[in-house]
């Protein structure tokens, strides 16, 4: 069905970043440090693998999108509050979109969803989310957002 999840550590290396894993405080998902000599992506080693992958992709997004700044500190939003639901930090929104597109490329997601429904036409949305999240090594929540943003699911 899927050719395999995107190798985000290889992608980070390709853009000149060094990835390190550190036991940060729980709410800290990752950091991006840019200076003239190197670029380091620090990832919370205590977080689930799927969260670590999203964090790396998110930090790559800051780099590729040429966001201004030398230090980016990213926290996990455990639940959406009024500030996060207003989506007011443009750079964070863009980095999240980049991460979703890197980890869950539209063409692969559409093909995988089509293949899944061809194998089992009675697949529920929840089953599809779980199946694709596992295949792409992302969280079910990230996959559900992506499927909604691609128009496969209707927003709830």
Domain ranges (residues) in the chain: 8-103, 106-149
Task: Say if residues 40 and 13 touch (Cβ distance below 8 Å).
Answer: no
Task: Say if residues 103 and 9 touch (Cβ distance below 8 Å).
Answer: no
Q: Give 24's contacts (C-beta < 8 A, 6+ positions apart).
A: 30, 31, 42, 44, 45, 46
Beta-strand runs (E) in 25-96? 28-34, 39-44, 71-75
In Å, how far are 10, 51, 60, 91, 136 from 87, measured between CA atoms? 30, 20, 20, 10, 26
> So what's the architecture of 8-103 in CATH?
Orthogonal Bundle (1.10)
Tens-binned pLDDT, residue by residue, of the chain (156 aa) = 456 699 999 999 999 999 999 999 989 999 999 988 999 999 999 999 999 999 999 999 999 999 999 999 988 764 444 444 445 789 999 999 999 999 999 999 999 999 998 999 899 999 999 999 999 999 999 999 999 999 988 876
pTM, two decimals, is: 0.89
């Amino acid at each position: 069905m899927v050719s395999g999840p995107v190798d985000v550590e290889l992608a980070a290396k390709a853009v000149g970043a060094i990835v390190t894993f550190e036991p940060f405080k729980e709410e800290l998902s990752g950091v991006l440090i840019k200076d003239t000599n190197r670029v380091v992506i620090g990832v919370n080693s205590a977080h689930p693998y799927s969260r670590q992958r999203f964090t790396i992709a998110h930090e790559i997004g800051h780099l590729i999108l040429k966001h201004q700044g030398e230090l980016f500190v990213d926290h996990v939003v455990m639940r959406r509050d009024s500030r996060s639901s207003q989506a007011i930090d443009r750079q964070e929104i863009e980095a999240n979109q980049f991460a979703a597109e890197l980890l869950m490329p539209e063409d692969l997601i559409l093909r995988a969803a089509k293949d899944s429904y061809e194998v089992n036409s009675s697949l529920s949305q929840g089953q599809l989310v779980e199946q694709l999240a596992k295949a792409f090594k992302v969280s079910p929540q990230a996959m559900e957002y992506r499927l909604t943003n691609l128009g496969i699911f209707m927003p709830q």
